[in-house]
Chains A and B, each alone.
Chain A
Amino acid sequence: MRGVLQVAAILASILIIAYGVLITEDRADPRWLGMLVVVGGLWIIALWPRRGYQLARSARPLVHLALVLAVGFGLVTIQVLRAQLLDRDRILAKASDPAAGVVDLRRYIAERQIERGRILLSDGTVIARDGTDKRGIRYRVYEGPSSYLAGYYSPGLYGAAGIERAFDRELSGSSTSGWNAWLDGILHRTRRGNDVVLSVDPRLQELGQTMLGERAGAAVLLDADSGAVLAFVSSPTFDPNQLSVPLGAPTEDVERARAYLEMLQKDGRGPLLLRPIQGLYVPGSIFKTVTAAAALQSGIATPTSVYRDDGALAVDSRVIIEQNRPDPTRVSFTLQEAYGYSLNVVFAQVGLELGAQRLEEMARAVGFEERIPFDLPVAPSQIAQTPDFLTSRAGIAETAFGQGQLLVTPLQMALLTAAVVRDGTIPEPYLVREIRSPDGGLIWSRQPKEWRRAFSGETAAALRDLMVWSVEHGYARPARIDGVTVGGKTGTAEVGDRAPHAWFIGFAERAGKRVVVAVVVEHGGSGVQAALPIGRALLEAAVQGS
């Protein structure tokens, strides 16, 4: 009977402790403390000496005292084990939450024991590495004009961005596990993080950067077959070195870096923005590729379908004026010609014929309104800002030729172009090609993947013809490259009163190598003059360099 009671008390105390750990977050939660009082009582029951056990009268208080003290030590043990084993992750997570306002110095001290991995471009050019200052403190050094691709890493400012942030586990080596990592840990050896190798080719990257120059804008060049980003140009940009402050840096260094960061954040030109993925722009005529894809896919038009364009089109109360006709006397154009000459009136008619639903379906099929899978967060491209915009005919017409409420990222438009040359499939784009261990061993290598199918192979082939025609006979003629199959589309996107955004999307094929490009020059004027030369140069360098 007594034995049963003891076992029951022990079991009950275990159950109460388990339940308490599950429902309470903190060791001083009043509910938990209340449970501990109950547990203490149960233990006293469990440990109470048997009735038959003969105790001297004088010894009885001593036994009770021993019981109470033992139970007290037992409860202390539960509390300390809870802190060290069960609540450990909770406590550490709480401390690393910036909102808590706690500085867990131990974490940063541990980071000093880590030599952070490097970030390299595809040919081995180092853009970010760890250096040591004259006091022997490790800090992050960024090298070369493309170093902004790394983002920044600044323990002194408690912040990181870009690849430094997205691949922190690899760079800091905390993703490494196994025998050696464990051994390094207990022997307190300086741990070295892994190197992150980008797919960016510095030759193409610098070419794009130079050609864009001081102008704000972006260019993204992809290998269409693998989805590898070969150039990822953004302008204006920032100097990550000025943000890199180690822990324990003098206050004035920290203040200088903080002031620089605040200046960047306040700068209206957005130097912290990675424009190829975070810049959202009105696409203008390059969006006609999507409209054409929808028309071809749905079968309402072929490249040779004929449309009438007599210089203006009234849609409800809106009148669309045509300024792009090569010859003002001509009034009938095939779809192919309309694409090559970028005729708004024709595409307004195509759009109206398609209707909002089919147009929107195609936009979604190529990736609009979705997070594109990528190594860094990509802003979703948008079809319309207000939900009822596409219910009006004028809205559909404007959207069809690339104005309306469209907002797109350069990466999105490059992927669209990739679908054209890949028979309708979109690759999963990537910036990080591989992870290498400090001694150069390959830890992980990217396996190119298809993201999705945007449209059928026939549609892709027809679109490809449109784009090639546009370069050979249409307005994108300056993009021609001898000996290379080039297709492209220019765009000049109206943005209110200011100069329009200049766009170019295009592809080049040579000897089995297929590359695609999307270029935007903010307020750059005409697409042919501002954006096309950059795109052409990148395509040419990409196919000829190999």
Chain B
Amino acid sequence: MFALFAGASGGPATADDAESYAAYIGNPNFPIFADANNVIVDATPMTQESYPEVCVIAPDMSLVQCYAGHGFVEAALDDVKAHASQ
């Protein structure tokens, strides 16, 4: 799942931004959220000090691992594998 903390104009992301971004990346079959009120930062270890940020969420909605910066998607997938095998 994707979440946008800022929209195309640089301001808080809106539903229009989520719709446009989904179309831009080919209308994926996963959600693109607009986090206009920055609620994700309060609910996760994400800081918004750099982006992108990635968090792995387990089936019970617990936070497995989080990363900040580019190039951590593979690491996140490895975290999923490791957590699922526990």
Is B one of A's binding partners?
no
- The interface of chain A, by Cβ under 8 A from chain B, is none
- The interface of chain B, by Cβ under 8 A from chain A, is none
